[in-house]
Chains A and B, each alone.
Chain A
Amino acid sequence: MSMFEKQGGQKYLDMELRTSPHYSRGVDVPQIMRNVVYALLPAAAMSVYTFGLSALALFLVTTVSAVLTEFILGRLSGHDNTVGDFSAVITGLLLGMTLPPGFPLWMAAAGGAISIAMGKFMFGGLGFNVFNPALLGRAFLQAAFPVAITTWDAPFAPGRFIEMINTSLALPFMTPPPHAATGATPLAALKFDGQVTPSLELLLGTVSGSAGETSALLLALGGLYLAARKMLDWRIPAAMLGTVVVLSGILHTVNPQYPSPVFMLFSGGLMLGAVFMATDMVTSPVTGRGVLMFGLLTGVLTVVIRIWGGLPEGVMYAIILGNAATPLINSHTQPRKYGTVKPVKQKKQQQGGA
C-alpha cells in the first residue's frame, strides 16, 4: 500500500504526530490586533472628515513612527520580530487619536517612538508591558509639550481638505506659529467657561477635541463589533462607563452644578479610552472579577480627575493608574479552583505555618 511508509521494518503512517488538542479556535494574535485596527477606522475616518488633512497626516505620522520603532527595536533586541502582528499599528493609531488635530507632526513622531520604545520594549516587548503604550506616549507628550497638547482646533474649518492646520508643520524645537482658529473642547468649555455642549453634537463628534476621540457613537460601534467577535472584553467598557454614569449621576443630582451623566459619558476621551485603551488585553486584569474592579477604579478616577482635578480630562491618567493596579488586582482575583475551598483561607494557613 502506498499510503503507508515502510521504515525499519515497521509500517508508519506518513502523518503528523502531535499531542492533543488537535483542534483550535483559529483566532490568533495578529487577527485580533488587525480587527482592533478595523474597529478604529470609522472613528478615525470621521475625524479626518471633521478636522481635514491635518488629522490624516497626524494618524499616518504616529502609526509609521510606531511601526518603524517597533521594527528597529525588534531587530536590535534579537527576538522574533513582532512588527507583523499589528500591535504597533494600534499603538500608533491610538496615540494619534488622542492628540489634538493640529498637533505638530514632529512631536507626534517623537510620541510614537516613545510609546513603543519606553511603553513596550523597555518592558520586554509584546505581552510584557505594564502600561498601555499609546497612553504612556501621550503622557510623555503632555509633560514635554503642555501647550501644544492643549491647543485645540475648531471642527469643520473651511478649506480643511486643501491645507493643513498651520501648527501641524511646525519645525522641530521651534515655537509653533500662533493658531489660526482654535476651539475649546467641551470639557474645557465646561471647566473653564461653564458652557455645556449639546449631547447630540457630542455623540456625533462634531465638536472640538482630540483627533479621534470626538465621535462617541462610531467608537462605541467599533467596540460593539469587537465584542461581538469576542476580541474585546465588553465587561471593561461596561464597568468603566457604568461607573462614570452612576457616579456623575449622583453628583449631578446632589448638585446640578456638576455636569450631567450624559455629558460625562459622551465628552472627551472617555469612549475612546474605555473601549479601546482600558481593554488592552496586556495591561488589563485577566479574570471576570478583576476586570470589573478595573472598570470601577478607572471610572471613579476619571470622574474625580475631571471634576476636582486641575485638568479638564482625566481618562488618560485614570487608565494609566488602573494599569499600574492591574498586577495587584490579578493576584487578588484568582478564581477559586474546582473542588477546593476558598484559596484565601489556605494562603493564610500557609503563611501562619511558615
Chain B
Amino acid sequence: MSGFSMADIPVLRHLSPVRSFPHGIHPPEEKDATRSLPIRRFPFAPFLVLLLSQHAGRPARPVVREGQEVARGQPVAEADGFVSVPIHAPASGIIRKVGHALDMDGRMAPAIVLEPYPGSDQLVAWGKDRDPDSMSPREIVGAIRDMGMVGLGGAAFPAHVKFTPPEGRVIDTLIINAAECEPYLTADHRVMLEMPEKVLLGTSLIQKALKASRALIAIEDNKPDAIARMREALAEFQSGNGAGNMEVRVCRTKYPQGAEKMLTKALLNREIPSGGLPADIGVMVSNVTTASEIGTLLPRGQGLIERVITITGRGVERPGNYLMPIGTPLSFILEQVGMKGQAREVLFGGPMMGKAVAFVETPITKGISGIVVMEEEELPRKSRVYPCIRCGECINVCPMYLNPSTLGQLARKNRFDEMAESLNLFDCFECGCCSYVCPANIPLVQSFRLSKAVVRERMAAK
C-alpha cells in the first residue's frame, strides 16, 4: 500500500506539487525486477514476421516481392491512405514470403516474412540525414509519417494523423506521457534514464509540429531518478538551443495515471468531453517512447524498425529491457530469455490492460511495450463469483466516474442498450480498476467489453 498524499484530497489536489486525478488504484508495481537493468539489444530471430496491420487504420501495402533482398531500414510496405503507415525492414536479409501470418488475436493477417542474413549487423544503411531545425511543422509531420511512427504506448495509432489536429483546433499543451502506470513495465523509465536528450528533441519536434505553446513531461513519483535525469537534461537542452516552453511535471503514482483522460485531469484539470478528443480541450498526449524514437529517427531520416520493450514476470528467467526488432516472433523471445515451467500466462503488455497470447509465432508489433510471463501466484486466484454485495469499491475507483456495479448487473441481464444509452458504457476504456477491486470476483471489464461488442454489432446492423 502506498502512503497518503495531498493529491488524494479533492480540495487540496490542485495545490499539491505532485499531481493526480480522482479515483484509481494502487496495484503492486512489480517493477523492481527490471527497473535498474539497462536497455540491451536483442539478437535477430531466424525469421521476422512483419504484420502489415500493426497500426490502427488500413494495412500497409507491400512494395517488395518474394526473394528480394532488402537492407536494414529499407521500406518494405508503404502507407495505404492517410490513416496508415509504412513498414521498414528491421534487418538486412531476404523477403521469404509476402502473404499471411497469425496475428495477436489468432487471425490470419497480411504479413511479410523476412529472413535476416546470418551476419546481418546493426548498422542502418538506409535513410539520409536531415536538419530538424530547418523543417517546417508540415515537413515534420510528413517525416513522422515516412518513418512509420505510431503511438508506442500501446494504441498504435498513426502518429502523423494524431499530430494533424482537426481544422480549427488549437493545441496549447503537449503532454508527454511518461507515467508508465502499468505494473511490471519499465521500458519508458529506461528510455528516460538512457536517452533523455532524444526524448527532449522528439518532444520539441512534436511541439513544433503542433505549434503548441508548452510541453509538459509527466512522470510518476515512483521514478525519482528519471525525474532528476529529465530535469537535468532539460536544463542543458534549454541552455543549448533555447527551445520552447518545456517542463517536467511529477504525478503521484496511481493507476491509470497514464491514460490521456487522467493526465489532462491531473495536470491541467481539464476533462476530455465524453466521446471527444484531447484536441477538443487544446491538448495532445503522446507517449515518451514515441517522442524519443522521433528524436532519434527524424534527424537520421530513418524508419521505425525496433523499439524498447520490457520482458519480465516471475515466469521469465532473464528479465530485462530490450531493444527489440519489430517482427521478432514470441517463440524466439521466450527461448532467448528463458521461460520457467511454472509460467501460466504470457501477456503482450502489462497485467492491467495487456493481452494474453496463445500462439508462439505471434510477432512483436510496434504497439507492444512489454511481455509479462506470469506464474500461478501472480495471477488472480480462481475463486467463485459472488453476487454483487454493493460495497461500492468499483464506483470509488472508476477513473471515469462510471457505475460499474450497476453496469455489471445490467450486463448480466443482457440490457446492453440501456448500458450504452444511460450509463455511458462507451466511456469505459477498460482500464480494469473495477475488476481489480471487486471482492465478488465479478468479471466487470470483461462483460463491458462484450457488451460494447454487442451494441456495436446492433448499431452496425441498423
Q: Verify B392–A18 contact, CB threshold 8 A.
A: no
Q: Which among A24-32, A45-53, A196-204, A303-311 touches the partner chain?
A: A24-32
Given known A-B contacts A15-B345, A127-B386, A337-B424, A22 and B360 have beta carbons under 8 A apart: no
Q: Which among B38-46, B212-220, B236-244, B397-405 touches the partner chain?
A: B397-405
Which of A20, A286, A340: most chain B CB closer than 10 A? A20
A12 interfacial by beta-carbon distance below 8 Å: yes
Point out the residues of chain B lying under 8 angstroms from A26, CB to CB: 380-381
A233 interfacial by beta-carbon distance below 8 Å: yes
Point out the residues of chain A lying under 8 angstroms from B271, CB to CB: 338-339
Of the candidates A3, A13, A23, the one whose C-beta lies within 8 Å of that of B183 is A23
A82's nearest neighbour on chain B, judged by CB, is B386
Q: Verify B360–A4 contact, CB threshold 8 A.
A: yes
Given known A-B contacts A20-B351, A281-B389, A13 and B446 have beta carbons under 8 A apart: no
> CA of A319 to CA of B260 in the docked complex: distance in angstroms?
42
Closest chain A CB from B423 CB (angstroms): 8
> CA of A347 to CA of B27 in the docked complex: distance in angstroms?
36
A10 interfacial by beta-carbon distance below 8 Å: yes
Point out the residues of chain B lying under 8 angstroms from A24, CB to CB: 380-381, 435-436, 441
> CA of A285 to CA of B396 in the docked complex: distance in angstroms?
12
Closest chain B CB from A330 CB (angstroms): 9
1/0 per position for A273-299, CB-CB distance to B under 8 A?
000000001101111100100000000
Q: Verify A127–B392 contact, CB threshold 8 A.
A: no
Of the candidates A13, A233, A281, A288, the one whose C-beta lies within 8 Å of that of B357 is A13
Q: Verify A338–B400 contact, CB threshold 8 A.
A: yes
1/0 per position for A1-45, CB-CB distance to B under 8 A?
101100000111101111111111111110110000000000000
Q: Which among B136-144, B195-203, B331-339 touches the partner chain?
A: B331-339
Of the candidates B274, B275, B351, B390, the one whose C-beta lies within 8 Å of that of A22 is B351
Closest chain B CB from A321 CB (angstroms): 18
> CA of A285 to CA of B389 in the docked complex: distance in angstroms?
11
Of the candidates A17, A22, A285, A337, the one whose C-beta lies within 8 Å of that of B354 is A22
Which of A4, A282, A287, A288: most chain B CB closer than 10 A? A4
Point out the residues of chain A lying under 8 angstroms from B261, CB to CB: 338-339
B83 interfacial by beta-carbon distance below 8 Å: no
Closest chain B CB from A45 CB (angstroms): 27
Q: Verify A21–B395 contact, CB threshold 8 A.
A: no
* CB contact list, B350-374 vs A, under 8 A: 351-361, 374
> CA of A270 to CA of B437 in the docked complex: distance in angstroms?
30
> CA of A287 to CA of B261 in the docked complex: distance in angstroms?
22
1/0 per position for B374-400, CB-CB distance to A under 8 A?
100001110110111111100110011
Point out the residues of chain A lying under 8 angstroms from B396, CB to CB: 288
B435's nearest neighbour on chain A, judged by CB, is A21
Of the candidates A4, A287, A340, the one whose C-beta lies within 8 Å of that of B424 is A340
B343 interfacial by beta-carbon distance below 8 Å: yes
A145 interfacial by beta-carbon distance below 8 Å: no
B383's nearest neighbour on chain A, judged by CB, is A28
> CA of A340 to CA of B402 in the docked complex: distance in angstroms?
11
B415 interfacial by beta-carbon distance below 8 Å: no
Of the candidates B27, B355, B357, B427, the one whose C-beta lies within 8 Å of that of A339 is B427
Q: Verify A11–B445 contact, CB threshold 8 A.
A: no
B344 interfacial by beta-carbon distance below 8 Å: yes
Given known A-B contacts A20-B445, A22-B351, A23-B436, A335 and B395 have beta carbons under 8 A apart: yes
B440 interfacial by beta-carbon distance below 8 Å: yes
A336 interfacial by beta-carbon distance below 8 Å: yes
Q: Verify A20–B427 contact, CB threshold 8 A.
A: no
Given known A-B contacts A4-B360, A23-B27, A29 and B439 have beta carbons under 8 A apart: yes
Closest chain B CB from A333 CB (angstroms): 10
Which of B339, B401, B405: most chain A CB closer than 10 A? B401
Question: Taking chain B's interface residues, is the majority helix, strand, or loop, or is none over half, making it mixed?
Answer: loop
A193 interfacial by beta-carbon distance below 8 Å: no
B449 interfacial by beta-carbon distance below 8 Å: yes
A72 interfacial by beta-carbon distance below 8 Å: no
Number of A residues near B (Cβ < 8 Å) is 47
Q: Verify A339–B273 contact, CB threshold 8 A.
A: yes
Q: Verify B356–A22 contact, CB threshold 8 A.
A: yes
> CA of A15 to CA of B347 in the docked complex: distance in angstroms?
10
* CB contact list, B248-280 vs A, under 8 A: 261, 265, 271-276
Q: Verify A338–B274 contact, CB threshold 8 A.
A: yes
Point out the residues of chain B lying under 8 angstroms from A18, CB to CB: 345, 356, 446
Of the candidates A12, A286, A334, A340, the one whose C-beta lies within 8 Å of that of B390 is A286
Closest chain A CB from B9 CB (angstroms): 13
B430 interfacial by beta-carbon distance below 8 Å: yes
Point out the residues of chain A lying under 8 angstroms from B391, CB to CB: 32, 281, 286
B102 interfacial by beta-carbon distance below 8 Å: yes
> CA of A349 to CA of B170 in the docked complex: distance in angstroms?
31
Closest chain B CB from A65 CB (angstroms): 22
> CA of A27 to CA of B386 in the docked complex: distance in angstroms?
12
B346 interfacial by beta-carbon distance below 8 Å: yes
> CA of A21 to CA of B389 in the docked complex: distance in angstroms?
21
B432 interfacial by beta-carbon distance below 8 Å: yes
Q: Verify B389–A339 contact, CB threshold 8 A.
A: no
Given known A-B contacts A19-B449, A22-B374, A337 and B358 have beta carbons under 8 A apart: no
Point out the residues of chain B lying under 8 angstroms from A11, CB to CB: 331, 359-361
Closest chain B CB from A119 CB (angstroms): 15
Q: Verify B380–A22 contact, CB threshold 8 A.
A: yes
Point out the residues of chain B lying under 8 angstroms from A282, CB to CB: 389-390
Given known A-B contacts A3-B334, A15-B344, A27-B439, A339 and B276 have beta carbons under 8 A apart: yes
Q: Verify A15–B346 contact, CB threshold 8 A.
A: yes
Point out the residues of chain A lying under 8 angstroms from B389, CB to CB: 29, 126-127, 281-282
Closest chain B CB from A284 CB (angstroms): 8
Given known A-B contacts A3-B334, A22-B356, A233-B392, A16 and B344 have beta carbons under 8 A apart: yes
> CA of A285 to CA of B405 in the docked complex: distance in angstroms?
12
Point out the residues of chain B lying under 8 angstroms from A13, CB to CB: 346, 357-360
> CA of A348 to CA of B158 in the docked complex: distance in angstroms?
41
Point out the residues of chain B lying under 8 angstroms from A4, CB to CB: 331, 360
Q: Verify A21–B445 contact, CB threshold 8 A.
A: yes
Point out the residues of chain A lying under 8 angstroms from B399, CB to CB: 338
Closest chain A CB from B155 CB (angstroms): 15
A11's nearest neighbour on chain B, judged by CB, is B360
Q: Verify B387–A125 contact, CB threshold 8 A.
A: yes
Of the candidates B384, B427, B436, the one whose C-beta lies within 8 Å of that of A25 is B436
> CA of A10 to CA of B330 in the docked complex: distance in angstroms?
13
Point out the residues of chain A lying under 8 angstroms from B183, CB to CB: 23
> CA of A334 to CA of B436 in the docked complex: distance in angstroms?
21
A163 interfacial by beta-carbon distance below 8 Å: no
> CA of A288 to CA of B449 in the docked complex: distance in angstroms?
27
Closest chain B CB from A232 CB (angstroms): 10
Point out the residues of chain A lying under 8 angstroms from B446, CB to CB: 18-19
Can you list 16 contacts pairing A with B, beta carbon distance less than 8 Å?
A3-B341, A17-B345, A18-B356, A20-B349, A20-B354, A21-B436, A21-B445, A22-B351, A22-B354, A22-B374, A23-B432, A27-B439, A28-B441, A80-B384, A233-B392, A338-B402
Known: A20-B354, A338-B261. 8 other contacts (CB 8 A): A3-B334, A11-B331, A16-B356, A22-B345, A24-B381, A281-B389, A338-B265, A338-B400
5 A-B pairs closest in CB distance: A21-B432, A127-B387, A286-B392, A24-B380, A335-B401
